[in-house]
Amino acid sequence: MLSLSDRASANPKALSASPLLSFGLRPTFSQPEKVSVNRLPRLSHSITMAPCKSIAEDKAQHADNVKKSNDRVIKRPAWGSHRFRGGMLNITPKRGTEKELVKSDQESCLLRLPTEIQNRIWIYAIGGRTIRQSSGVVQDRVFVPEPSERTNTFALMRACRQIYAETALLPTTTNVFQLTNCSTFWIAPKSFRKYQLRQIIEVRVEVNDLHFQRCYEVYLKQLFEVNKLSIFPNLRSVHFCVHGSKARVYTSLSVCSAFLHEHFGDQMRAAGYDMVVEKMDIDIRNHTR
């Protein structure tokens, strides 16, 4: 059953028809009692909070625990691969099982060969290739590799730790680094580690179309303006490889050589690079998507 105050809030018209108003009496509504803060009951025991350290104290204590040394090796994780700051893998065995594997690998017939013979095998298996780096965009034309060219050239480096340690520098020291065009100078080196960039002493750039002379001029100017070639610390020479095809009219070697020497010969010599323009005989076929 609703009280009088509930009825008044629910239906104001019903209040005017109440018999109390007919006798001149006004109903009084009880208001909730306001309790002062001072009247709140006090707890018999005090509440104690856990002590919290300041952020500055926490950082200072953490800094004291960090190893202070001059070596450039990051602390190795318990599992997974670990790299030095230059990007090369740290193949030092850490756990007991890894040490046993390394010991068994060193007893293999291949790793027991003389060092001179091993080096010849590594260079034959990994070196003598052209690492052709593109921008990643699907192109209309692709270079057709030779039938005897191997596609899994660097699979040998994954055989064991000892082979990786002996062949880690061979992909960049025994192969030729070649770019599909000048624009890939901005993208291609990002896929290399720092220690690999330091090993590259020669870069080859493909030049293919007479209509792209303005494009080459723009990109080459940008290379020298921002000194983009400095990402290769030990770079000595830049080769421009001119290739042709019967499908389209391409620049001749003499025209391209005159254009490059006229526009960028002085800049190359001032930067300390040798510029070479050569003919590249290679088959180009349409790319089937």
- Give this prediction's pTM: 0.55
Write out pLDDT tens, residues 216-269: 666 666 666 656 777 888 888 888 887 765 444 455 677 778 878 887 788 888
In a domain, 1, yes or no: no
For residue 215, the model assigns a pLDDT of: 62
Q: Which residue has the higher pLDDT, 181 or 99?
A: 99
Rounded CA separation 267/273 (Å): 9
In a domain, 73, yes or no: no
Write out pLDDT tens, residues 12-57: 544 444 444 444 444 444 555 554 444 444 544 444 444 555 555 5
For residue 81, the model assigns a pLDDT of: 64
In a domain, 28, yes or no: no
Cβ–Cβ under 8 Å, residues 243 and 213: no
In a domain, 38, yes or no: no
Query: 209 Cβ partners below 8 Å, 6+ apart?
Result: 248, 250, 251
Count up the domains in the chain and report the number. Answer: 1
In a domain, 5, yes or no: no
Write out pLDDT tens, residues 102-143: 777 778 888 889 989 999 999 998 888 887 765 555 444 444
In a domain, 2, yes or no: no
pLDDT exceeds cutoff 80 at 280? no
In a domain, 60, yes or no: no
Residue-number span of the structural domain to which 138 is assigned: 97-280
Q: Quote the strand ranges of the chain, DSSP E.
A: 130-133, 141-143, 176-179, 202-207, 237-242, 274-279, 284-286
Rounded CA separation 231/8 (Å): 85
Cβ–Cβ under 8 Å, residues 227 and 273: no
CB neighbourhood size of 63 (10 A): 9
Which residue type occupies 135?
S
In a domain, 198, yes or no: yes
* Chain centre to alpha carbon of residue 265: 34
Over residues 69-79, the mean pLDDT reads 53
